[in-house]
């Protein structure tokens, strides 16, 4: 992966000027590369990672992992059904996986009831969906390489040789 992408993935607030210094490229070049990445859909969007565990909000919603077994379709395989499923706004992530089931979904809803009714009323009755298993998430420890507990770290002395 291009170093510029690697840098942005870690900190999207960095300006093209700062990135240019870090990778030893002209600012104009960095700017045009970023523009191109945006145009090509390689950079999709810039967002902030919020540690919702720290917000302690009663109504922060629930998430569930859902295993879905499906019957693949002639000519389109799993793609057609996957698309019908991932278009629901309740579906936060959708993966095709190997193993004893086919699709792995992450569903978000405001409470257990919302998620269950999505599964019961929308997902399970779909033609060619052969079965679902729902796992409600109880606690998040680490997400996208980010440990969610604030790291307590011994402080380095401010001066050492």
Partner 1 sequence: MKISKRVEKVAPSGIRVFFDLVLGMKDVISLGVGEPDFVTPWGIREKAIYSLEQGYTSYTSNMGMIELRREIAAFLKRRHGLDYNPEDEILITVGSSEAFDLVCRTLTNSGYKILVPQPSYVSYYPLFYLAGANPHYLTTTIDNGFKLTPQQIDKACDKNTKILVINYPANPTGVSYTKKELLEFSKIAKKRNLIVISDEIYDELTYDFNHTPFATLPGMREKTVYLNGFSKAYAMTGFRIGYACGPKEIIYHMNKIHQYTMLCASIIAQMAAMEALKNGAKSVLQMKKEYRRRREYIVDELNRIGLRTHKPEGAFYVFPSIRNTGYSSMDFALNLIRKKKVAVVPGTAFGPSGEGYVRMAFASSLDNLKEAILRISEFLKR
Residues that bind partner 1 (CB under 8 A): 3, 7, 11, 14, 18, 21-24, 153, 156-161
Among 68, 109, 75, 77, residue whose Cα is nearest residue 91: 109
Backbone phi and psi for residue 103, each to the nearest 5 degrees, phi listed first: -110, 140
**For partner 1, which is the closer residue by CB, 100 or 146?**
146
Least CB distance to partner 1 at residue 15 (A): 10
For residue 62, CA distances in Å to 27, 109, 158 come to 43, 5, 43
Least CB distance to partner 1 at residue 11 (A): 7
**For partner 1, which is the closer residue by CB, 46 or 161?**
161
Least CB distance to partner 1 at residue 45 (A): 22
Question: How far apart are the C-alpha atoms of 127 and 125, rounded to whole Å?
Answer: 6
Backbone phi and psi for residue 139, each to the nearest 5 degrees, phi listed first: -155, 140
Least CB distance to partner 1 at residue 155 (A): 10
**For partner 1, which is the closer residue by CB, 59 or 153?**
153
């Amino acid at each position: 992966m291009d170093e510029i992408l690697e840098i942005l993935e870690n900190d999207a607030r960095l300006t093209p000027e700062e990135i240019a210094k870090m990778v030893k490229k002209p600012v104009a070049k960095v700017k045009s590369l970023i523009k191109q990445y945006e145009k090509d859909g390689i950079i999709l969007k810039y967002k902030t990672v919020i540690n919702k565990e720290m917000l302690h909000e009663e109504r922060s919603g629930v998430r569930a992992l859902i295993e879905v077994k499906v019957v693949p379709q002639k000519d389109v395989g799993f793609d057609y059904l996957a698309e019908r499923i991932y278009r629901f706004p309740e579906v936060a992530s959708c993966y095709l996986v190997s193993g004893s089931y086919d699709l792995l979904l992450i569903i978000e809803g405001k409470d257990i009831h919302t998620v269950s009714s999505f599964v019961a009323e929308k997902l399970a009755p779909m033609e060619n969906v052969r079965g679902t298993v729902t796992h409600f998430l109880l606690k998040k420890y680490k997400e996208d390489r980010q440990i969610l507990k604030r790291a307590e770290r011994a402080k380095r002395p401010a001066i050492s040789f």
